[in-house]
């Protein structure tokens, strides 16, 4: 046989978990976009679970997490919430999960503070400086209008961030 061949990988359904190894669980979290899911992970820790990435902060995501708490985590607590980067599908539900479990948040300082700035921009108009920058970069009028329409949307899916964090140094 020529080429690389992969064994068939069983995938969890949307909102379901799959144990990959002892203490490693895959959660396939649904998204309301053309990219219809994100892969999240639960890692067994002494006394509970480490949650790696969080999904968007939506009613659907919170519902999935509540089911996962009971079924996938056997009602054991989360000890840490790790956010790998600031995209809303990775950071969105961090505030909810940290509060739900009184867990600590692990994230890089830069990503954490940028999340907080983007949340603060929610619902505000796009700055003229941003419009000038994108015009100078060659954006069309249509692209500028799209930028202006979508500016400040971050907080729609990331409604808050915990007030403190444990730093990941990279």
Tens-level pLDDT at each residue, the chain (170 residues) = 577 766 777 899 999 999 999 999 999 999 999 999 999 999 999 989 999 999 999 999 999 999 999 998 999 999 999 999 999 999 999 999 999 999 999 999 999 999 999 999 998 999 999 999 999 999 999 999 999 999 999 999 999 999 999 998 88
Q: What is the pLDDT of residue 166?
A: 93
* Residue bearing tokens 């830069």: 110
Q: What is the pLDDT of residue 1?
A: 56
Q: What is the pLDDT of residue 18?
A: 94
Q: What is the pLDDT of residue 89?
A: 97
Burial class of 38 by CB neighbour count within 10 A (0 to 12, 13 to 18, 19+) = buried
Q: What is the pLDDT of residue 6?
A: 67
- CA 25 to centroid of chain Cα atoms: 17
Q: Over the range 55-74, which residues count as b (16 or more CB within 10 Å of their CB) and which as e? A: bbbbeebbebbeebbeebbe
Q: What is the pLDDT of residue 169?
A: 86
Q: What is the pLDDT of residue 78?
A: 96
Cβ neighbours of residue 114 under 8 Å, at least 6 residues apart?
A: 86
Neighbours of 96 (CB within 10 A): 19
Distance CA 32, CA 49 (A): 26
Strands (E), the chain: 16-21, 24-30, 37-45, 48-52, 78-82, 104-107, 166-167
Q: What is the pLDDT of residue 2?
A: 75
* Residue bearing tokens 């961090």: 94
């Amino acid at each position: 046989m020529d080429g690389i061949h992969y064994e068939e990988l069983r995938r969890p359904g949307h909102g379901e978990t799959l144990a990959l190894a002892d203490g490693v669980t895959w959660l396939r979290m649904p998204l309301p976009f053309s990219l219809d899911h994100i892969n999240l992970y639960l890692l067994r820790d002494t006394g509970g679970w480490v949650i790696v990435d969080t999904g968007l902060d939506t009613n659907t995501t919170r519902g999935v997490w509540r089911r996962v708490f009971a079924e996938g985590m056997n009602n054991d607590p989360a000890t840490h919430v790790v956010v790998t980067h600031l995209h809303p599908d990775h950071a969105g539900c961090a505030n909810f999960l940290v509060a739900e479990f009184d867990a600590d948040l692990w994230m890089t300082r830069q990503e954490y503070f940028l999340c907080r700035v983007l949340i603060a921009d929610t619902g505000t108009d796009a700055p003229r400086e941003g419009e000038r920058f994108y015009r100078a970069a060659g954006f069309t009028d249509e692209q500028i209008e799209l930028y202006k329409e979508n500016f400040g949307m971050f907080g729609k899916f990331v409604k808050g961030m915990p007030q403190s964090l444990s730093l990941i140094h990279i």
